[in-house]
């Protein structure tokens, strides 16, 4: 971000005069760079949360909670991380089922079957 | 169950520009001479140790996500039940024949799903040169079409062979620090060194207790 040319290059796609005029562009580019600094850190958090959601969705198809699943894996000393678990849950359903079974045996709390709350048909109820 | 049995080798957006589908050379050509194998996978934080004896690693830290951006992920082949293999074969007959196996390997403190024939950007492996053969020892899971070998934590004696292709730098990120009203601005550019390795094969997992497709089907 040394000279005008570089700033305007970074300001491509900005709205209005922020992409053309150096005084406005400089401010917007500074803000954009601050956001990117901050978001490089939050990206890691967001991705992890996304992986956890995916793994949770995958395990609930087999009637196991995410927390119980991870507890079972840690007990068995399986050190796959959440990124890889989420990809396996999406693309390798049988490997994932094997992992869920291992976790289920390792953690006795998994015996309880989780029932999804069923949608109730409201139309049959009285007004 | 996820019905992704048909996306066998679809282009992935998850490994971004790093991991593209490359036409597989039919089994890695034997080099005239092989450089010594480096087992480059037991990376303690900030330190590379070239030991060949497997040691239990610490639990994996949250991996650097610079390589995975889009949520849409489609790379390694799924374990399809035998009935669906026909459809799968037809779908991909134009692609070159590739060994249908995948492994989860830990390199540089991060875990990757690897399949033979593809390349991968990992943290810079110190002490290796281009066209070195690499043996990655920390194999956490191996999957084939019918069986899965789940390591606790490592699949013993499993090795992923790879070849170092190039050692370069990541794209530049601009680290810009700014405090308002205090006249404080710092502008730093940063390029993280990386190494591109191409996976040639996965071996050594046969004698490990496996989970087969039939046993899963029985238990469901």
Residue ranges in chain A whose pLDDT is less than 50: none
Distance from CA of B100 to the nearest CA of A (A): 13
What distance lies between CA B88 and its chain's CA centroid? 23
Instruction: Select the residue of A77, A81, A93 nearest B78 (Cβ to Cβ).
Output: A93
Interface subset of B 27-86, CB within 8 angstroms of A? 57, 59-60, 62-65, 68, 71, 73-79, 81
Instruction: Select the residue of A76, A77, A90 nearest B73 (Cβ to Cβ).
Output: A90
Pairs of residues, one from chain A and one from chain B, whose beta carbons lie less than 8 Å apart: 116
Could you list the beta-strand ranges (E) of B30-183.
38-39, 43-44, 47-48, 101-107, 110-114, 119-123, 133-136, 139-144, 147-150, 159-169, 173-179
Question: Residue B38 in contact with residue B52, Cβ under 8 Å?
Answer: no
Instruction: Select the residue of A44, A88, A93 nearest B62 (Cβ to Cβ).
Output: A44
Cβ contacts (< 8 Å) between B145 and chain A: which residues?
Answer: none
Q: Per the CB < 8 Å rule, is B153 touching A84?
A: no
Mean per-residue pLDDT pooled into runs of 10, chain B (220 residues): 40 39 40 38 38 38 40 41 51 64 92 92 90 90 88 87 92 94 94 93 82 72
Task: Determine the pLDDT at residue B90.
Answer: 53
pTM of the model: 0.66
Q: Please, is B86 exposed, middle or buried when counting C-beta atoms within 10 Å of its C-beta (0-12, 13-18, 19+)?
A: exposed
Task: Determine the pLDDT at residue A25.
Answer: 94
Backbone angles phi, psi at A69, to 5 degrees: -60, -50
**Assembly ipTM:** 0.78
Task: Determine the pLDDT at residue A52.
Answer: 95
Name beta bridge partners: B133: B163
Show the CA angle centred on residue A111, arms to residues A107 and A113, nearest 5°. 130
Instruction: Select the residue of A33, A61, A87 nearest B73 (Cβ to Cβ).
Output: A87
Sign, CA torsion B7/B13/B18/B22: positive
Question: How far, in Å, are A42, A50, A55, A120, B70 from residue A46 at the CA level?
Answer: 6, 6, 14, 33, 12
**Distance between CA atoms of residues B14 and B20, nearest Å:** 10
Task: Determine the pLDDT at residue A10.
Answer: 93
């Amino acid at each position: 971000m040394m000279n005008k040319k570089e700033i305007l290059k970074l300001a491509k796609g900005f709205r209005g005069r922020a992409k053309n005029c150096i005084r406005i562009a400089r401010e917007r580019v500074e803000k954009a760079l601050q956001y990117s600094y901050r978001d490089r850190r939050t990206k890691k958090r967001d991705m992890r949360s996304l992986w956890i959601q995916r793994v949770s969705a995958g395990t609930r198809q087999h009637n196991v909670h995410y927390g119980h699943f991870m507890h079972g894996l840690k007990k068995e000393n399986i050190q796959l991380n959440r990124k890889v678990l989420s990809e396996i849950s999406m693309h390798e359903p049988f490997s994932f089922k094997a992992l869920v079974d291992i976790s289920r045996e390792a953690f006795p709390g998994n015996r309880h079957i989780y029932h999804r709350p069923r949608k109730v048909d409201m139309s049959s109820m009285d007004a | 169950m996820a019905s992704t049995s048909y996306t066998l080798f679809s282009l992935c957006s998850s490994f971004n520009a790093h991991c593209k589908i490359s036409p597989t050379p039919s089994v890695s050509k034997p080099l005239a001479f092989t450089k010594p194998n480096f087992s480059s996978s037991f990376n303690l934080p900030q330190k590379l140790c070239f030991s060949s004896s497997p040691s239990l690693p610490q639990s994996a830290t949250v991996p650097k996500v610079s390589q995975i951006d889009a949520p849409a992920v489609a790379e390694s082949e799924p374990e399809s039940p035998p009935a669906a293999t026909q459809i799968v074969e037809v779908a991909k007959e134009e692609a070159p024949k590739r060994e249908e196996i995948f492994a989860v390997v830990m390199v540089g403190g991060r875990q990757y799903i690897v399949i033979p024939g593809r390349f991968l950007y990992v943290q810079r492996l110190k002490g290796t040169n281009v066209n070195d053969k690499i043996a990655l020892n920390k194999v956490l899971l191996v999957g084939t079409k019918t069986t899965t070998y789940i390591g606790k934590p490592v699949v013993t004696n499993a090795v992923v062979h790879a070849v170092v292709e190039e050692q370069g730098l990541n794209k530049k990120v601009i680290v810009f620090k700014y405090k308002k009203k205090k006249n404080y601005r710092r502008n730093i550019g940063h390029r993280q060194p990386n190494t591109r390795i191409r996976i040639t094969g996965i071996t050594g997992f046969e004698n490990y207790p496996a989970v087969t497709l039939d046993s899963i089907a029985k238990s469901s």
